[in-house]
Chain A
Amino acid sequence: MKKPFAITLDPGSSLANHTGSWRTSKPVYLDRLPPCNNRCPAGEDIQGWLFHAESGDYEAAWRHLTRDNPFAAIMGRVCYHTCESVCNRAQIDAPVGINSVERFLGDEAIKRGWSFTPPSTESGKKVLVVGAGPSGMSAAYHLRRLGHAVTVMDAGPFMGGMMRFGIPKYRLPRDVLDAEMQRIVAMGVTVKLNSKVDNILDSMRAGAFDAAFLAVGAHIGKRAAIPAGDAAKIVDAISVLRSMEGEDKPMLGRRVVVYGGGNTAVDVARTVKRMGGEPIIVYRRTRDKAPAHDFEIEEALQEGVMIKWLSTIKQAGEHQITVEKMALDDKGFPQPTGEFETLEADSVVLALGQDVDLGLLNGVPGLEVADGVVKVGANMMTGHAGIFAGGDMVPAERNVTVAVGHGKKAARHIDAWLRGASYTAPPKHELAQFEKLNTWYYSDAPKTVRPMLDIIRRQSSFEEVQGGLDESNALFEARRCLSCGNCFECDNCYGVCPDNAVIKLGPGKRFEFNYDYCKGCGVCVAECPCGAIKMEAEEL
């Protein structure tokens, strides 16, 4: 090159000097598993969908979310969001309001009429799903996406299972539930209502099904032996809640005693309150031992539900009951004290848990039942080849999200099984613990709170208690996410390298190392906010 006067060297000629040879260890990009994803019972890629929500692309966010769980709007209302309890942001200020953003996306999808795309090819296989609750409908959705012909049979008159006949509408409005159920039907899933399956093998044979997924839930209310006079009115919680969905509302009288300490007891009591009754929950242990979530107990108390802790019902009469006070022994178990009290009670509602009706499985060979639930393998298959099961009828935590997760997992295994193969989940990435983050780089941003319905309307109507976030709040909340373990293109590595050894590939394409010049100083690793780079020893 002919150089101008007094210029002696070519610009940037140091590129001939490959300083990468100095390196003893090298940085590599990786995706780590965010703790929220790791915890989600439905296996959602939370960080992944928040990433789209952060830029305001709510449709992309919703589509990403629904790869794993078709029920964003339902989840945003009834999921117990254990993801938030492990969110890394909790260690900075407060966890990301994952559940509230999920609800926003779900509501946005309903508002904008987003739908699922039917499969492009048909597998030619037929799968029967029994039960149109969250588990059954989740399985139907995933099976349909994989190209299978799916028929769902449900004994009841509507889709939704316990989400309709258990969870009251002040927590889950029915138009929301219907919208998310109908969206699955619209993919080409056949749903037969009022069609109880009495014998699974008969039904499979009759419809020439290649496989079945059972998700019949747990609907038989457990009874307790309470000595009761003839005139005492004793009913079970599930029937009360179910009748709320029909024409004939339950007749329980004014003073209603609800017996039990779980979420069902709380839901019944809050329902009674809304119908103008005076509910009183009687539970034999203490508040901290109650299986109901504390926030639900708190909301019930706010609404004026009375709770008698450490009490058991000894006897029920026509307009009153006798309770015995309990005391905790040194192991924390309630023991009778011999102290009695009389309470006014027009009826007693038993909310003591539910059993599974396994009638449809009579005579199915190979099946194993223990503690009233059906055993399944890691692939969700029962002891009978081709019959899979999930949700409340199998041994697991009983909630909507677990049920949805079972549906997805079962669908993948059914799909493989139909092809004579077996499904292996991809290996989990290493966890993105808090220590892997450089939190200096995140703005301070306290959590957004969701509005609550005023107390008067909560006591007298079935309007939804918890409101949603508006667009700007949801965007704010999404942007509180730290993107744990996954590159969010903040350009830090590209900027902080003293050797220009990071190549920026452009929006959405992330970065690459130029190992010709990377000296292995590790500044990029230290300054990556989200822990998406690690050092690896160089083989020398």
Chain B
Amino acid sequence: MSDLQPVKFYQTGTFTVGNRLLAPEERSVQANMQRTNSLNSGHRACQGCGEALGARYAIDAAMNATNRQLIAANATGCLEVFSTPYPETSWQIPWIHSLFGNAAAVATGLSAAMKVKGKKDVRVVAQGGDGGTTDIGFGCLSGMFERNDDVLYICYDNEAYMNTGVQRSSATPPAARTATTMPLGSEPGAPFGQGKFVPAIAMAHEIPYVATATVADLRDLEAKVTKAMSFRGARYIHILVPCPLGWGTASHDTIRMARLAKETGMFPVFEAEYGELKSALAIRRQLPVEEYLRPQKRFAHLFGKTPAVETIARIQAQADKNIRRYGLMAKEAAL
């Protein structure tokens, strides 16, 4: 061991939300006492809701990046329902809801209107759940990408239709049980060989910016939203937001679950520009997928009296594929 070690070491580095040892400009948006709290208290999301957290993280960062000149269009889903039951709203930004499947189109319209009015500094985000994004809103979304409309679309992926009682979506992972997947039999839960990974499809549109993130890596999430706002044209960020209700996890485990998804390789965290992969967030302490699956009731059938060894191995193979494809073991995590 050398006796000279890096001086620039800040105890928790950038792992924590804030760090009193960092210069103010190096701290996160969430650490700021003046953060917007775009999604304010009093909303009706469940205890420990990852989507409520992810939305505040993302929209506060976007507000910060745009000098608070921001409008949001919101698809139907938990985020809309828990935030805005008439006559109350938790939103502290101009916000509009119209339908389940057309958030991307509404945002395109908003962006066009701002252009016509000459308000170049007013930026537009669209946001929705995985159902609203990967299924019913997919046509509008692909159109928005294809036209390269000046919108940042954020998908809060909790891997099912949560607001209507946990139905399967095309983002539900194989073997996860939902209200509409096989309850019993040899292979309960969502089938293997179905579903889609929209970030990859967004990349195929060769839009300026595509990224994935989780609520467990705040600094990474904020950096990506900020970067997205530095581009004009269509941008897409896909955020993994654990749902205690739909996943059957303890309310205090929301961030831990997101961390495990990333550390097992189940959810690859990366960014791409104009269709090309630019960087991936390296796994820091790799874990087998069991660590991620076991705490979730939606996977409980894999861990019965005779554990579903083969199914778990198939899920592990998917994680291994992610690790290979996105280079998740590339290097040691930075300080």
Flag if A491 contacts B31 (CB, 8 Å). Answer: yes
A520 within 8 A of B: yes
A441 within 8 A of B: yes
Flag if A490 contacts B41 (CB, 8 Å). Answer: no
Contacts A14-B89, A55-B21, A506-B33: A498 and B56 contacting too (C-beta < 8 A)? yes
Which residues of chain B are within 8 angstroms of A517 by Cβ–Cβ distance?
A: 41-42
A527 within 8 A of B: yes
Complex interface bits, B60-85 against A, C-beta within 8 A gives 1, otherwise 0: 00000000000000000000000110
Q: Which of B73-113 contact A (CB under 8 A)?
A: 83-84, 86-94
Flag if B16 contacts A498 (CB, 8 Å). Answer: no
Which residues of chain A are within 8 angstroms of B94 by Cβ–Cβ distance?
A: 7
Closest to B244 in A: A521
A196 within 8 A of B: no
- Nearest CB of chain A from residue B250's CB, rounded to whole Å: 8
Which residues of chain A are within 8 angstroms of B312 by Cβ–Cβ distance?
A: none
Flag if A442 contacts B15 (CB, 8 Å). Answer: yes
Which residues of chain A are within 8 angstroms of B13 by Cβ–Cβ distance?
A: 443
Closest to B40 in A: A12
Closest to B87 in A: A9
Which residues of chain A are within 8 angstroms of B255 by Cβ–Cβ distance?
A: 496, 523, 526-527
- Nearest CB of chain B from residue A334's CB, rounded to whole Å: 38
- Nearest CB of chain B from residue A13's CB, rounded to whole Å: 5
Flag if A443 contacts B11 (CB, 8 Å). Answer: yes
Complex interface bits, B1-26 against A, C-beta within 8 A gives 1, otherwise 0: 10111110111110111111100000
Flag if A491 contacts B17 (CB, 8 Å). Answer: yes
A31 within 8 A of B: no
Closest to A528 in B: B16
Q: Which of A469-524 contact B (CB under 8 A)?
A: 472-473, 475-476, 479-481, 483, 488-492, 494-501, 504, 506-507, 514, 516-517, 519-523
Q: Which of B182-214 contact A (CB under 8 A)?
A: none
From A8, A54, A494, contact of B21 by CB (8 A) = A54
Q: Which of B16-68 contact A (CB under 8 A)?
A: 16-21, 27-28, 30-31, 33, 37, 39-45, 47-50, 52-53, 56
Q: How far is the CA of A526 from the CA of B256 in the complex (A)?
A: 8
Closest to B332 in A: A444
Contacts A14-B88, A22-B47: A490 and B16 contacting too (C-beta < 8 A)? yes
A227 within 8 A of B: no
Contacts A488-B20, A490-B12, A498-B48: A14 and B83 contacting too (C-beta < 8 A)? yes
Complex interface bits, B124-153 against A, C-beta within 8 A gives 1, otherwise 0: 000000000000000000000000000000
Contacts A9-B88, A495-B31: A522 and B252 contacting too (C-beta < 8 A)? yes
Complex interface bits, A18-29 against B, C-beta within 8 A gives 1, otherwise 0: 110010000000
A433 within 8 A of B: no
Closest to A517 in B: B41
B259 within 8 A of A: yes
A10 within 8 A of B: yes
Which residues of chain A are within 8 angstroms of B6 by Cβ–Cβ distance?
A: 476
From B1, B39, B84, B244, contact of A446 by CB (8 A) = B1
Flag if A16 contacts B31 (CB, 8 Å). Answer: no
A449 within 8 A of B: yes
B251 within 8 A of A: yes
Closest to B255 in A: A527
Contacts A443-B15, A491-B16, A494-B18: A516 and B41 contacting too (C-beta < 8 A)? yes
Flag if B45 contacts A498 (CB, 8 Å). Answer: yes
A295 within 8 A of B: no
Closest to B82 in A: A14
Closest to B256 in A: A526
- Nearest CB of chain A from residue B261's CB, rounded to whole Å: 14
A426 within 8 A of B: no
Flag if A495 contacts B30 (CB, 8 Å). Answer: yes
Which residues of chain A are within 8 angstroms of B264 by Cβ–Cβ distance?
A: none
Flag if B17 contacts A490 (CB, 8 Å). Answer: yes
Q: How far is the CA of A490 from the CA of B83 in the complex (A)?
A: 28
Which residues of chain B are within 8 angstroms of A481 by Cβ–Cβ distance?
A: 11
- Nearest CB of chain B from residue A27's CB, rounded to whole Å: 10
Flag if B41 contacts A449 (CB, 8 Å). Answer: no
From A440, A448, A488, contact of B15 by CB (8 A) = A440
A15, A440, A497, A522 interface centre (most CB from chain B within 10 Å): A440
Q: How far is the CA of A521 from the CA of B303 in the complex (A)?
A: 26
Complex interface bits, A303-328 against B, C-beta within 8 A gives 1, otherwise 0: 00000000000000000000000000
Complex interface bits, A277-311 against B, C-beta within 8 A gives 1, otherwise 0: 00000000000000000000000000000000000
Q: How far is the CA of A445 from the CA of B87 in the complex (A)?
A: 52
Say what secondary structure dominates the interface of chain A. Answer: loop
Complex interface bits, B322-335 against A, C-beta within 8 A gives 1, otherwise 0: 00000000000101
A365 within 8 A of B: no
- Nearest CB of chain A from residue B42's CB, rounded to whole Å: 3
Flag if A9 contacts B17 (CB, 8 Å). Answer: no
Flag if B335 contacts A19 (CB, 8 Å). Answer: no
Flag if B42 contacts A495 (CB, 8 Å). Answer: no
A137 within 8 A of B: no
Contacts A443-B12, A481-B11, A522-B252: A490 and B19 contacting too (C-beta < 8 A)? yes
Q: How far is the CA of A257 from the CA of B76 in the complex (A)?
A: 88
Q: How far is the CA of A448 from the CA of B244 in the complex (A)?
A: 42
Flag if A495 contacts B28 (CB, 8 Å). Answer: yes
B273 within 8 A of A: no
Flag if B91 contacts A12 (CB, 8 Å). Answer: yes
Closest to B28 in A: A495
Which residues of chain B are within 8 angstroms of A442 by Cβ–Cβ distance?
A: 11-12, 15
From A15, A443, A447, A527, contact of B9 by CB (8 A) = A443
Q: How far is the CA of A190 from the CA of B92 in the complex (A)?
A: 67
A246 within 8 A of B: no
Which residues of chain B are within 8 angstroms of A500 by Cβ–Cβ distance?
A: 37, 39-41, 56
- Nearest CB of chain A from residue B310's CB, rounded to whole Å: 31
Flag if A494 contacts B17 (CB, 8 Å). Answer: yes
A11 within 8 A of B: yes
Flag if B42 contacts A14 (CB, 8 Å). Answer: yes
Flag if A9 contacts B86 (CB, 8 Å). Answer: yes
A17, A446, A480, A517 interface centre (most CB from chain B within 10 Å): A17
Contacts A9-B88, A9-B89: A523 and B1 contacting too (C-beta < 8 A)? no
A451 within 8 A of B: yes
Which residues of chain A are within 8 angstroms of B47 by Cβ–Cβ distance?
A: 22, 519-521
Flag if A11 contacts B91 (CB, 8 Å). Answer: yes
A12, A442, A450 interface centre (most CB from chain B within 10 Å): A12
Can you sample 23 A-B contacts with CB below 8 Å?
Answer: A9-B89, A14-B40, A14-B88, A17-B42, A17-B88, A19-B41, A54-B21, A446-B5, A447-B1, A479-B9, A490-B17, A490-B19, A491-B17, A491-B19, A495-B30, A498-B45, A498-B48, A498-B53, A499-B45, A504-B33, A519-B48, A522-B252, A527-B256
9 cross-chain pairs, A with B, having the tightest CB-CB distances, nearest first = A491-B18, A495-B17, A14-B42, A522-B252, A521-B48, A521-B47, A490-B16, A517-B41, A521-B251
Task: Give B contacts to A, CB under 8 Å.
Answer: 1, 3-7, 9-13, 15-21, 27-28, 30-31, 33, 37, 39-45, 47-50, 52-53, 56, 83-84, 86-94, 218, 244, 250-256, 259, 333, 335
